[in-house]
Amino acid sequence: MTKDVIALTPKMPDALSLLVGLHAGGPGTEVTATADGAVVQLLGSGGRPLVSVESPLLVQVPGEIERLLGAESAAQAPVPVWWTETRASSAVPEAERLAGSVVGRLTHLLGGTVWPPGAGTIGVVPVESDPGDGTDQTAVIVAEDALPAVDVVTESTVVVLADRPVVPLTAWLSEVLRTTAAQDSALQIVTPAHCRLSHHLRTALTGAPNRWVVQHPDCGYYDGLTGAVLGWQHGTFAVVTDESGQGTVAEPYRPSGPTGEHQLTVSFRTAYPPEGELLLGRSLELAWRTLTGAPPAGWGTAEPVNLPWSPRQLTDLARGRVPEPTLITAVGSPDRPALATVRITRTTAGVEENVTLTIGYGEGERVPLDAVRTLAGALADGEHGLISLLATLGPARRDLTAPPVFEAPPVPLSFTLGAEGVLETTLTHARRPPLTLRPVQLGPEARPALHYPLGDGTHAEAWNTLDVLLTHLRRRAAV
């Protein structure tokens, strides 16, 4: 099922080396670009996508190669390294060999290694062309909503086959997600049972109509995020139901014993006035330092995350995209797995950052629960404009990847309401929820925030407590 082939080279693939790689299909192929030039496609007969080639990325962040491809690849390709990813459509028999030839030619010219091992070749893979196509490769223009090289397209669904240790949210896959959403189609990613999803791809696939489909030798197909047994029905993978309309859970998805691993997640929103010297990413860096003792290691707009951490570069990117929002990914150092997404939005009042930071802990490692209150206090000091913060803790893998097995949902640890929310709700009302808990006042005395402890992450009843608290706060705010 493997259709992804990656070249890891110490030298940058320049125009000449890329041209040599793209000629791997001989005269029967055409070349086009999508995603504002970030993805190049080799097209076969009738303009059918065969292979997509993403723009080379200089990966400068320690741990990214190991996180996505494993320790063996990381040992053979120390950072900084150029990552050039290709993907072949399984709908065309020659496409996989063509992808291997593209990256094989790159590593032959530039040095480096190919993942998966042995996939790279340097021969020409002839692709049959339409009569009258001519003998030269030609740059062509395709429709803006054309799909990059995918495997199956039906009226309702786009299916992508993948087989790699961790399936990431690459620039190519982000483009597929964007295109399917624009077409009101579902994206379904089909993998063998040994694959895992990156944290960011799992988040992107959560909820209908998209789905992670796991192929298992013992039970056919099932949903990797819910466990529901699936079948191919009317051009899409759908839940298989019995006569009463009930589905079943696949046996491989059912929970096993506890591993002792946990994930701590803090989700918060901050707002800033639109000042000329505004530097974005400061709230994320503050959270990272408070909870891990170090800043983020790197950031980017897709996986692999390729740039060293820089709030200035992040700010410049977001400013250049106004009025459109900016979504970025950040990662931590290899010794403390941590991942974050940041959505930056220009509002009528200024700039808003919506941050979700998740940190992994292994068996026996202490989760710094006390640091969450410290973080809430630091964000509420007035400089960061805290709107709200929710902290949760749940049993999940330390490496932050998602396996196709059941993982218990996280449990709330605390909720913090920022000064603006307290002002809107009134301090008197916000301090007196119909619960036994009592909030802790944080921030400046004149504009306080309120921090509500909800538990230690071991009792699911904390969700009910949070629901009662939020209902209480909304009731007053709506008056």
- Rounded to an integer, the average pLDDT of 316-343 is 94
Binned at pLDDT 50, 70 and 90, residue 64 comes out as very high
Query: How do the domains of the chain map onto residue ranges?
Result: 1-128, 150-254, 262-477
Binned at pLDDT 50, 70 and 90, residue 94 comes out as confident
Question: In this predicted structure, what is the pLDDT of residue 332?
Answer: 95
Parallel, antiparallel or unpaired: strands 186-192 and 211-216: parallel
d(CA 224, CA 173): 18
- Rounded to an integer, the average pLDDT of 261-289 is 93
Least confident piece of the model among 146-155, 262-271, 419-428, 454-463: 146-155
Model confidence over 100-117: pLDDT tens digits?
888 888 888 899 999 988
Q: Long-range contacts of range 246-250, CB-CB < 8 Å, 24 or more positions apart?
A: 249/222, 250/214, 250/216, 250/219, 250/222
Q: Does position 90 have pLDDT exceeding 80, yes or no?
A: no
Question: In this predicted structure, what is the pLDDT of residue 138?
Answer: 35
Question: In this predicted structure, what is the pLDDT of residue 25?
Answer: 55
231/274: higher pLDDT: 231
Angle between helical axes of 282-292 and 369-379 (0-180°, round to 10): 150
Task: Indicate the average pLDDT of the chain.
Answer: 87
> What are the phi and psi torsion angles at 10 (to 5°)?
-75, -20
d(CA 426, CA 407): 39
Question: In this predicted structure, what is the pLDDT of residue 145?
Answer: 46
Model confidence over 236-272: pLDDT tens digits?
999 999 888 899 999 999 988 888 999 999 999 999 9
Model confidence over 348-400: pLDDT tens digits?
888 999 999 999 999 999 999 999 999 999 999 878 899 999 999 999 999 99
Can you point out the beta strands (E) in 69-202?
Answer: 81-88, 113-115, 152-153, 157-161, 166-167, 186-192, 196-197
Number of C-beta neighbours around residue 403 at 10 A: 18
- Work out the burial of residue 83: count CB atoms within 10 Å of its CB; fewer than 13 is exposed, 13-18 middle, 19 or more buried: buried
Q: What's 409's DSSP letter?
A: P
Number of C-beta neighbours around residue 376 at 10 A: 29
Q: Which of 288, 283, 286 is nearest to 270 (CA)?
A: 283
89/9: higher pLDDT: 9
- Rounded to an integer, the average pLDDT of 25-45 is 63
- Rounded to an integer, the average pLDDT of 453-465 is 94
Binned at pLDDT 50, 70 and 90, residue 35 comes out as low
Q: Does position 93 have pLDDT exceeding 90, yes or no?
A: no
- Rounded to an integer, the average pLDDT of 201-207 is 88
Quote the tokens at residue 277.
């010297």
Helix (H, G, I), strand (E, B) or coil at 171: helix
83/148: higher pLDDT: 83
**Coarse DSSP helix, strand, coil percentages of the chain, rounded to the nearest 5 percent:** 25, 30, 40
Sort residue 47 into left (φ over 0), alpha (ψ -120 to 50) or beta: left
CATH number assigned to the domain covering 1-128: 3.30.310
- Rounded to an integer, the average pLDDT of 277-283 is 92
Q: What percent of the chain has pLDDT over 70?
A: 86
Alpha-carbon distances, residue 452 vs 58, 355, 363, 441, 465 (angstroms): 43, 19, 28, 9, 10
Model confidence over 138-168: pLDDT tens digits?
333 334 445 556 788 899 999 999 999 999 9
pTM metric for this prediction: 0.88
Least confident piece of the model among 35-39, 314-318, 326-330: 35-39
Q: What's 259's DSSP letter?
A: -
Question: In this predicted structure, what is the pLDDT of residue 257?
Answer: 80
